A and B are shown apart, each in its own frame.
Chain A
Amino acid sequence: MPIERLRARRPHLFVARDEAPIAFAESVAGAIRLAALNGEAAAAGLSVGLTLADARVRVPEVEIFPHDPAADADWLERLAEGARRYSPAVALDPPQGLILDSAGVDHLFGGERGLAEDIETRMARRGITVRLAYGDTPEAARALARHAGAPAPDEMGAIRRLPIAALELDEDAGAALIAAGLKSVGDVLARPMATIAARFGREAATALRRLTGEEDSPLTPRAVAAPIGVERRFAEPVAKTEHMLGVLEDLAGEAARALEARHEGGRRWGARLFRSDGEVQALRVETGQPTRDPAVLMRLFRERIEALADPLDPGFGYDLIRLDVGLAEKLDAVQLRLEGGEGRAQQGAEAVAALIDRLGTRLGRERVRRIHPRDSHMPEQAELLLPATDPAPKAEWTRPEPGEPPLRPIHLFDPPQPIESLAAETPDGPPARFRWRRKMHDVARAEGPERIAGEWWRRADMAPPTRDYYRVEDVRGRRFWIFRHGLYSETERPRWYVHGLFA
């Protein structure tokens, strides 16, 4: 598989060298050894685990590339995304396998044989060789695909003819089975299960049961199926982004009707664009309020496409477009309201919600925020910034008393900014003048201290120093919120900080 990845990603390496032996090398325990090879390399007598030096001696013309398991895993994930065109339940079987749950979907492709053919041709188009096998359990399919045995009339027969290696036991258990004279899975199955478990370990028995379908093993799909999903397949791939958007709008309309029947609206929408060459592009949008208005959705999708770092590339065209509603919430039919009054307020609120969605889609959800109260003494933690689409937590702001000047700044520095130098009349009092951002400020008015103790209960190991806050105003009217970090009894030379600015 690494070779196929490389061939797809960097085709220039392979021009006119189709038949060259290729191997991938990685460093294992201090020695550089081969980790993967192509057929030509294997035919030339190389094998996985050989040191690089040996390999070069045996087959001087071999091409060596660094082994990159992370890139392979990434490639496998891309293939898995592409395989979602066949079934929503796709599981990864690293390092090289994909498991599809095709129950109930293969009739869409003309039965099991048709599905297999479609997968083979599509993968071959990308230069990928596949070994396909059907099985009643994921393990059986996997074992059949990996360890092709002798032909057999039915699945059970095929499983019986698999070699011991297909059980994928650890080396000791496998060797013990072979040493006991058992050559195929069938040989093992012929013995009483209890004997197998007693002599070769519980794992051997479990592996057997899973292979034969006596024990269920769960398939872990990569993504759960969305509650509502609509899709459209094309005989001719759609190559224009504009056409694609038109189809998407139709699908949004279809999804809207499905949602309407359920009295719901979607909040998370995902469009998947399956390219005919197997690539998949995903677009996701979220709304603050449940919606099923195709026009709103299309605006968000367009916004999303515009905000993509790499522009959308249809390549040879999309042959399958799917729209999933990832999260649906209650939304009853819009009631017609009379002009003005509440109706207008409602319209206004809807317009604002739509604007928030658009800005969130373009800039990122976490950049469009609301400020919520939070119960904390530490000023920098007394507020919570949440995406504007998130529901508000239940908490109340402390309202100021009438006639009281603002006791908290409108601009807060986080982290607080150090004061460069400072002169105070009394050690415990507010400063008389201080230098901040290279400017000297002569204090004309001051109030304080407001003592804020560190939240010692949050950090058991050491209590942070107490802060003494002062509101000060300099002679030119600039108002600062400054604090001394630590009492004189706590620290030798407490530092001063500007924590915020008042209007």
Chain B
Amino acid sequence: MEEPFALIDRLRRATALVEQVPMGDAIGERGGLPRLTRAQLHEIHAPAPEAAASGAGFAIGCALTAEARPILWLRTEAAERQGGRLHGPGLIAMGLDPQDLVVVVVADDSALLRAAADGARCPGLGTVIAEGWGAMRALDLTASRRLMLAAEASGVLMILLRIGGQTVPSAAATRWAVAPAPSRALAAEAPGAPAFDLELLRRRGGPAGARWRVEWNRDTQSFDPAPLSGARLPLVADRAVAGAPPAPVRGAG
């Protein structure tokens, strides 16, 4: 493993270049999670199909932290079939009011990208999430550039959520990999708030490769740093433990 201080320096350089969101007061100064900015195209990859729900959860979190509502969520029939449908009570449990959401189910990837371009051009929208499963052959540099240009013109936060499949060259401003992370257990070993392992795979005009483990806080609508079991990121580990509120007690059953 890298020597801790060198790693901190590297991360500090990396994160200083992008817009920073305070993740708790002190942590902001030390480099927090870059926020997905509006008027741009971002790619979120959940490389494994079983991480689909985490990808969706992270996308929701990004839309909420950017205060980019309403949300247009485009899905393919394949996604509905394999990944299950978006569930209203679960969305509200993430802090997203289903009233702010329009779900569109399209037949295939090319219809998905076409509807996404229409959505990205609509200045009334906050976020467009286009969820594609698998290889997405219709997605090429032209398609992603079209989305980027449309988002730049309208100010929409355009998120391309890819479940499975390989990355392809794209015009996206950032590309993230997301995987579920073990949550902080509540009383009686109950699963806690949603936790994600994030990796910034690529960033336009800046270094990439930073990793975070974050926890979604519905009440503050923000990503909080989460404690790491393996201490992959000492940068935030100490803060998280110190700053975390005591775990709420929940009885089992």
Chain B nearest CB, measured from A12 CB (Å): 35
Known contacts A403-B219, A448-B252; A363 and B191 CB within 8 A of each other: no
**Total count of chain B residues near the partner, CB < 8 A:** 66
Contact of A472 among B52, B123, B182, B191 (CB under 8 A): B191
Chain B nearest CB, measured from A451 CB (Å): 8
Residue of A nearest to B197 (CB): A477
Residue of B nearest to A412 (CB): B87
Q: Does B231 contact A (CB under 8 A)?
A: no
Q: Which one of A138-146, A329-337, A393-401 is at the interface? A: A393-401
Contact of A410 among B90, B180, B185 (CB under 8 A): B90
**Chain A residues within 8 Å of B99, by CB:** 370, 392
Chain A nearest CB, measured from B89 CB (Å): 4
Q: Which one of B101-109, B140-148, B164-172 is at the interface? A: B101-109
**Chain A residues within 8 Å of B188, by CB:** 447
Known contacts A356-B102, A397-B98; A410 and B91 CB within 8 A of each other: yes
State in angstroms the CA–CA spacing of A446 and B97 once bound together. 27
Q: Are A355 and B86 in contact, CB atoms less than 8 angstroms apart?
A: no
User: Mask for B71-111, Cβ within 8 A of A = 1, else 0?
Assistant: 01000000000011111111111100111011111110001
State in angstroms the CA–CA spacing of A348 and B122 once bound together. 8
Known contacts A402-B219, A449-B253, A503-B94; A479 and B122 CB within 8 A of each other: no
Contact of A478 among B90, B111, B180 (CB under 8 A): B180
Q: Does B67 contact A (CB under 8 A)?
A: no
Contact of A405 among B50, B51, B118, B192 (CB under 8 A): B192
Q: Does B70 contact A (CB under 8 A)?
A: yes
**Chain A residues within 8 Å of B72, by CB:** 355
Q: Are A503 and B58 in contact, CB atoms less than 8 angstroms apart?
A: yes
Interface of B (DSSP majority class): mixed
Q: Are B87 and A405 in contact, CB atoms less than 8 angstroms apart?
A: no
Q: Does A347 contact B (CB under 8 A)?
A: yes
**Chain A residues within 8 Å of B119, by CB:** 355
Q: Are B50 and A410 in contact, CB atoms less than 8 angstroms apart?
A: no
**Chain B residues within 8 Å of A472, by CB:** 191
Known contacts A479-B53, A500-B84; A369 and B248 CB within 8 A of each other: no
Q: Are B104 and A411 in contact, CB atoms less than 8 angstroms apart?
A: no
State in angstroms the CA–CA spacing of A398 and B195 once bound together. 23
Q: Does B186 contact A (CB under 8 A)?
A: yes
Q: Are A471 and B191 in contact, CB atoms less than 8 angstroms apart?
A: yes
Q: Are B56 and A503 in contact, CB atoms less than 8 angstroms apart?
A: yes
State in angstroms the CA–CA spacing of A350 and B70 once bound together. 13
Q: Are B122 and A502 in contact, CB atoms less than 8 angstroms apart?
A: no
Known contacts A355-B125, A403-B219; A382 and B84 CB within 8 A of each other: no
Q: Are A405 and B191 in contact, CB atoms less than 8 angstroms apart?
A: yes
**Chain B residues within 8 Å of A406, by CB:** 90, 93-94, 193-194, 218
Q: Which one of A112-120, A180-188, A371-379 is at the interface? A: A371-379
Q: Does B60 contact A (CB under 8 A)?
A: yes
Chain A nearest CB, measured from B40 CB (Å): 19
Q: Are B89 and A397 in contact, CB atoms less than 8 angstroms apart?
A: yes
Chain A nearest CB, measured from B98 CB (Å): 4
Q: Does B181 contact A (CB under 8 A)?
A: yes
Q: Are B124 and A477 in contact, CB atoms less than 8 angstroms apart?
A: no
**Total count of chain A residues near the partner, CB < 8 A:** 64
Contact of A404 among B106, B124, B250, B252 (CB under 8 A): B250
Contact of A479 among B58, B91, B98, B191 (CB under 8 A): B191
Residue of A nearest to B96 (CB): A410
State in angstroms the CA–CA spacing of A450 and B252 once bound together. 9
From 339 to 381 in chain A, residues with beta carbon under 8 angstroms from any chain B beta carbon are 347-352, 354-356, 358-359, 362-363, 367-373, 379
Q: Are B124 and A411 in contact, CB atoms less than 8 angstroms apart?
A: no
Q: Are A439 and B56 in contact, CB atoms less than 8 angstroms apart?
A: no
Q: Does A501 contact B (CB under 8 A)?
A: yes
Interface Cβ pair total, 8 Å cutoff: 215
From 105 to 162 in chain A, residues with beta carbon under 8 angstroms from any chain B beta carbon are none
Q: Does A408 contact B (CB under 8 A)?
A: yes
Q: Are B124 and A408 in contact, CB atoms less than 8 angstroms apart?
A: no
Q: Are A477 and B181 in contact, CB atoms less than 8 angstroms apart?
A: yes
Contact of A411 among B83, B118, B195 (CB under 8 A): B83
State in angstroms the CA–CA spacing of A359 and B89 once bound together. 25
Q: Are B106 and A358 in contact, CB atoms less than 8 angstroms apart?
A: no
**Chain A residues within 8 Å of B86, by CB:** 371, 410-412
Known contacts A363-B115, A410-B53, A445-B190; A473 and B182 CB within 8 A of each other: yes
State in angstroms the CA–CA spacing of A200 and B246 once bound together. 93
Residue among A356, A368, A398 having the largest count of chain B Cβ atoms under 10 Å: A368
State in angstroms the CA–CA spacing of A382 and B85 once bound together. 13
**Chain B residues within 8 Å of A32, by CB:** none
State in angstroms the CA–CA spacing of A389 and B67 once bound together. 24
Q: Are B103 and A352 in contact, CB atoms less than 8 angstroms apart?
A: no
Q: Are B84 and A501 in contact, CB atoms less than 8 angstroms apart?
A: yes
**Chain B residues within 8 Å of A407, by CB:** 93
Residue of A nearest to B196 (CB): A503
Q: Does A197 contact B (CB under 8 A)?
A: no
Q: Are A388 and B181 in contact, CB atoms less than 8 angstroms apart?
A: no
From 192 to 218 in chain B, residues with beta carbon under 8 angstroms from any chain A beta carbon are 192-197, 216, 218
Known contacts A371-B88, A449-B253; A411 and B51 CB within 8 A of each other: no
Q: Are B98 and A410 in contact, CB atoms less than 8 angstroms apart?
A: no
Q: Does A414 contact B (CB under 8 A)?
A: yes
**Chain A residues within 8 Å of B37, by CB:** none
Q: Are A411 and B193 in contact, CB atoms less than 8 angstroms apart?
A: no
Known contacts A349-B124, A478-B50, A503-B194; A383 and B183 CB within 8 A of each other: no
Chain B nearest CB, measured from A393 CB (Å): 12
State in angstroms the CA–CA spacing of A410 and B89 once bound together. 8
State in angstroms the CA–CA spacing of A448 and B182 once bound together. 18
**Chain B residues within 8 Å of A350, by CB:** 124
Known contacts A412-B87, A414-B85; A501 and B52 CB within 8 A of each other: yes
Q: Does B2 contact A (CB under 8 A)?
A: no
**Chain A residues within 8 Å of B50, by CB:** 437, 439, 478, 501
Q: Does A444 contact B (CB under 8 A)?
A: yes
Q: Are A363 and B87 in contact, CB atoms less than 8 angstroms apart?
A: no
Chain A nearest CB, measured from B75 CB (Å): 10
Contact of B56 among A400, A404, A411 (CB under 8 A): A411
Q: B residues within 8 Å of A by Cβ? A: 50-54, 56-58, 60, 70, 72, 83-94, 97-99, 101-107, 111, 115, 118-119, 122-125, 179-183, 185-186, 188-197, 216, 218-219, 245, 248, 250, 252-253
For this complex, 6 residue pairs linking A to B, each with C-beta atoms less than 8 Å apart, are A359-B118, A363-B107, A369-B102, A406-B193, A500-B87, A503-B54
With A370-B102, A372-B98, A503-B180 known, 13 other A-B pairs at CB within 8 A are A347-B123, A347-B124, A370-B98, A398-B92, A403-B219, A408-B89, A409-B87, A439-B50, A447-B189, A501-B53, A501-B83, A502-B191, A503-B58
